[in-house]
Amino acid sequence: MKALGLITEYNPLHYGHITHIQESQKKVSPDVTIAVMSGAVVQRGDFAMHAKWHRAEAALANGVDLVIEIPSFFVLQAADYFAHAAVYMLDQLGVSDLVFGSESGDLTPLKKLHAMQKDATYQRALKAKLDEGLSYPDAAFEATHDASLKEALTPNNILGLSYLKAIDACDSSMHVQTIKRQKRTYYDDLKHFQKIQSATAIRTHLKTGKSAKTYVPDPLASKIDGLPTVELEDFYEAFSYRLKMVSQEAFEDQFGFYEGLENRFLKAKEAPTMMDFLDAVKTPRYTYAHLGRAMMHFLLHTPQSFSQFKTPPYLRILGMNAGGQAYLNHVKKTTELPLVTSAKKGQHPLLDFELKIAQLIASKTHEPLAQKEMGPPLGV
């Protein structure tokens, strides 16, 4: 049985994502299409703009058969760790083919980068650049001496490279392909009268109070303008209050802090706004995404004990259609991971973490997210 795997955030799902789904299906001709999707949070270090249930519903209505949640703890980590968690889950689900979008649309430069980055010469150059205080992405760029490969170090290509590393690390037989991203790049502004927009542009458009229904498919189009939204900045007051109350010792049990980053946080605790805080903490060593993830971990009180979880310990089902349900009945005989259809208090620390995040978001959006966490998947 051919199973197509997609690693997604759908924040929100738009026509570029639909192109990805459809073109991937053309390449693979799968019996089932599975999306592993970030849930309440996203990898760049923020909350997802809309609840995962709206995003999962949109995926199921537009070609996906089964939506599985990547646990938030793994989402809020650097690209290599995020990718490893996602690929591991797809492998546990028996996925035969992974297709991802990239700027190049060509695996060749990514395979060359993957081979080069395993070389000792590259590793020494990378360490030297990190020791100079550069962030990991900047150090990786400087350590890459082949100019043609440097050109391939674009955001989605880099994430694709992380998928290749993860497949090696998981010793997976999964077949990998990539398709060229359509027209819009991650950082593009919204261009009127164009169907495909970047998720960033759509989010920015929504935050200004403008309609975005033209840029997303049904069933999302009919409700996106009225959906409550949330972002890390909405919780800056709570973040700032906690930061002013804790001592340096409190960071000993706080995941996500090393190399003295906690000292920079504490020095900036009086910053009146989130952007003021980020400007005060930012150095060449830390990307804004890195700082966003650290802020999220601090706000969510992510304990250091979570570092024991090297791979996702369960498969949480957010939604499925009849085809997805039939595939799950097939794969549950072979996967090593338990299938979770609803969260229960005390069932697992990472599921309790999801419930806590849902309660925090609900305090702003007033959606019944905690009840949904403990309810059945969509489509059941």
Tell me: the pLDDT tens digits for 72-100? 999 999 999 999 999 999 999 999 999 99
Confidence at residue 9, expressed as pLDDT on a 0 to 100 scale: 97
Q: Whole-angstrom Cα distance, residue 249 to residue 49?
A: 33
Domains in the chain, ordered, with CATH? Answer: 3-103+158-229+309-373 (3.40.50.620), 108-153 (no CATH), 232-307 (no CATH)
Per-residue pLDDT of 92-125, as tens digits, reads 999 999 999 999 899 999 999 999 999 999 999 9
- What is the percent of the chain with per-residue pLDDT over 90, rounded to a whole number? 85
Tell me, what's the pLDDT at 183?
A: 54
- pLDDT at 185 > cutoff 60: no
What pLDDT, on a 0 to 100 scale, did the predictor assign at position 184?
44
**Mean pLDDT, residues 223-231 taken together:** 95
Q: Which tens digits make up the pLDDT trace of 22-80?
A: 999 999 999 999 999 999 999 999 999 999 999 999 999 999 999 999 999 999 999 99
User: Can you spell out the DSSP letters for 44-100?
Assistant: TTEE-SS-HHHHHHHHHTTT-SEEEEEPHHHHTS-HHHHHHHHHHHHHHTT--EEEE
Weakest-pLDDT range from 26-30, 159-163, 272-276, 332-336: 332-336
pLDDT of residue 186: 44
What are the tokens at 354? 């999801």
DSSP letters spanning 308-366: G-SS-SSEEEEEE-HHHHHHHHHHTTT-SSPEESS--TTS-HHHHHHHHHHHHHHHHH-
Q: Model-level pTM? A: 0.94
